[in-house]
Amino acid sequence: MQAYNTYTLATIGLTRYNWLMDYGQEALKRSKKLKGKLSMIVKDQLDSREKLSIYYTPGVAAVSSYVAEHENEARDYTWLNNNIAVVSDGSAVLGLGNIGPYGALPVMEGKAMIFKSFANIDAVPIVLSVHSADEIVAAVKAMAPSFGGINLEDIAAPICFEVEDRLKAELAIPVMHDDQHGTAIIVLAGLINSMKLTGRDLKDCRIVVVGAGAAGTAVIKLINKYAQPEILAVDSKGIIAPGRTDLNDEKKSLLAYTNKNAVEGSLEDAMMGADVFIGVSKANLLTPEMVKSMAKDPIIFAMANPAPEIMPDVAKAAGAKIIATGRSDFPNQINNALAFPGVFRGALDNRVGQITDEHKLAAAKVIAGLVETPSEDNIIPSVFDERLVPAIAKVIV
């Protein structure tokens, strides 16, 4: 462990997690050797004076003049047809919290690496040293002419909601906050196949969603759009209910989709008789006793990282039928990388100006359908499934 030097495990509060011991050393070593994960390539070589004259001066003047007069054709003459900005202010990096723009940069590089590896999209990591909604929106709008789409990442709630809504309204290119919608798409895909395995209809289920931040809010809204089941949202104070006086505007807005019967109480109360638990909160929040209080063949999506709300073996021992997490070392990984490459591939290829709820629903259905024979340990396709990106892209129209 000495290779961490002053950057100790204790510094980031992850001492107890074996995954960091297993992968952290290697990640540090490779990142330092490679000096990051990304580089830029050119599509033709500047190996002659003729090419230099064509691609730069004087030839480039003809292209610039044409594009200036025909802005709607810019994507036909520049890289706008195939590039995305991956934008973060580092205020809510998964598992690490508010670690700032420099801390966020390796994550954004990784996201860009996924875009290129799985969907051949040229993604550029952009980290911002501003944090208010006005500042983030202004920065993204200023750089937007350089990109064909905007993937927002790791921006804290509630600012992330305003930022995305404003950018979607003010830009003519696709914008998606992946922490919200990528998560929601994969959760819904997993639920669709879980219903098949347990003989349920999603509209008849009682679902408990723990975590009322960006991901939890998007999950609730997309599930409601798909099936309108009974949903209870739970935060650190208990069930989000009309009678509570401590709710901010974002949590109050969830009451339009949840808790139709104005139920009050704790997480323990919410879990009694529930069919589905969806956790986007923190480690070890769900107890075996809560799982045992659920309906027959309970479904557990425990997605807190790096440690889930309940470990799969513990949930299984308590009677869970289907268990999913956010981790790659357990079956059924709810991984945003299953969704966002295909969604943006389709948006770029089909010149989609805005990613809608209908696109998200279509993507979830396609992803679920790629698992031809679902099983308890196989409700989600692999991120390496070569059918994934083309299948999703086809329905983003």
CA 214 – CA 309 distance, rounded (Å) = 17
Rounded to whole angstroms, how far apart are CA atoms 385 and 373?
A: 15
Alpha helices in the chain, H assignment, sequence order = 18-34, 49-55, 60-69, 74-77, 100-119, 133-143, 159-170, 178-198, 214-227, 249-254, 267-271, 288-292, 312-317, 340-349, 357-369, 388-395
| Cα gap 75→60, rounded to integer Å | 15
Q: Is the peptide bond before 106 cis (omega within 30 degrees of 0)?
A: no
Catalytic residue among 23, 56, 66, 102: 56
Pairing status of strand 238-239 against strand 175-177: unpaired
pLDDT number for residue 305: 84
**Confidence at residue 13, expressed as pLDDT on a 0 to 100 scale:** 41
Instruction: Report the distance separating Cα 368 and Cα 120, nearest Å.
Output: 23
Let me know if 43 is a catalytic residue: no
For the full predicted model, state whether its pTM sits above 0.95: no
Alpha-carbon distance of 53 to 49, in angstroms, equals 6
Options 111, 168, 221, 360, the catalytic residue = 111
Angle of helix 214-227 relative to helix 178-198, nearest 10 degrees?
A: 50
Beta bridge partner(s), residue 126: 87
Query: Residues of the chain whose pLDDT is less than 50?
Result: 1-16
Active site residue 221: no
Q: Which residues have CB under 8 Å from 51's CB, separation 6+?
A: 44, 45
The verdict on whether omega for the bond into residue 158 sits within 30 degrees of 0, i.e. cis, is yes
| Cα–Cα distance measured from residue 198 to residue 276, given in angstroms and rounded to the nearest whole number | 11
